[in-house]
C-alpha cells in the first residue's frame, strides 16, 4: 500500500529551537518503527521547503507540514492551508502555502488537503540546544499528533481547526 498521508517536517537541528520539526519527526519515526504504528504514513524531513517538495504531495490524501514558529501561541497552532503564491514563491525556501501553489500549477488540479502544525520556539541561535520551553511545546505537539494520527481524515482535522486547536 502506498503512503497516503505525508508528514513533512522542516528545520535546522543546529539552530536551537529550529530543530523542533526534525525532532518531532524523529520521535514519530521511533513510534512508527518500534510499535508498527500509522500504516500509510510517510515521514519526510528537510532543512527547508523547496519547489521540489510539490512532487512529494502527489498521490496523497492528506499532508501535514510541521515547523517551529515564533509567531504562534505556545505550545503551538494547528491550521488548514490553502495554495497561495506569496513572497517565497521565487526564493530558495518556500512556505507551505507556496508549495501547495506550485503543486496546483504543475498538476493543474487542487493539492491534497493540507494542514500546518506550528510548534512554538523561543531561541534559534546557531549551535544552541533546544530550549526548555521548546521541549515542553514539542511534548504537547506530539500528544496532539497522536489525536491527528488516530483519525487521519481531512474532515476530522478540520474539526480540530474549527475548535481552535491553539494550545492543543
All structural domains of the chain, each given as residue ranges with its CATH number in brackets, are 5-162 (3.40.50.1450)
pLDDT digits (tens, 9 = 90+) for 57-103: 999 999 999 999 999 999 999 999 999 987 655 555 789 999 999 99
Q: What is the pTM of this model?
A: 0.92
Query: In 3-state terms, what secondary structure has residue 37?
Result: coil
- CA-nearest of 23, 17, 10 to 126 is 17
Eight-class DSSP state of 18? G
Q: Give residue 23's pLDDT band: very low, low, confident or very high (50, 70, 90).
A: very high
Instruction: Classify residue 31 by burial, with Cβ atoms within 10 Å: 0-12, 13-18, 19+.
Output: middle
Amino acid at each position: 500500500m502506498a503512503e497516503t498521508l505525508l508528514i513533512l517536517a522542516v528545520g535546522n537541528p543546529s539552530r536551537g529551537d529550529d530543530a523542533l520539526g526534525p525532532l518531532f519527526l524523529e520521535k514519530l519515526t521511533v513510534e512508527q518503527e518500534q510499535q508498527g504504528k500509522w500504516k500509510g504514513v510517510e515521514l519526510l524531513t528537510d532543512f527547508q521547503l523547496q519547489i521540489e517538495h510539490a512532487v512529494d504531495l502527489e498521490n496523497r490524501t492528506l499532508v501535514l507540514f510541521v515547523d517551529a514558529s515564533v509567531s504562534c501561541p505556545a505550545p503551538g497552532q494547528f491550521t488548514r492551508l490553502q495554495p497561495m503564491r506569496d513572497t517565497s514563491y521565487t526564493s530558495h525556501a518556500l512556505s507551505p502555502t507556496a508549495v501547495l501553489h506550485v503543486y496546483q500549477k504543475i498538476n493543474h488540479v487542487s493539492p491534497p488537503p493540507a494542514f500546518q502544525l506550528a510548534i512554538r520556539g523561543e531561541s534559534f541561535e546557531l549551535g544552541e540546544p533546544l530550549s526548555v520551553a521548546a521541549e515542553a511545546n514539542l511534548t504537547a505537539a506530539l500528544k496532539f499528533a497522536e489525536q491527528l494520527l488516530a483519525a487521519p481524515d481531512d474532515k476530522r482535522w478540520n474539526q480540530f481547526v474549527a475548535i481552535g486547536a491553539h494550545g492543543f
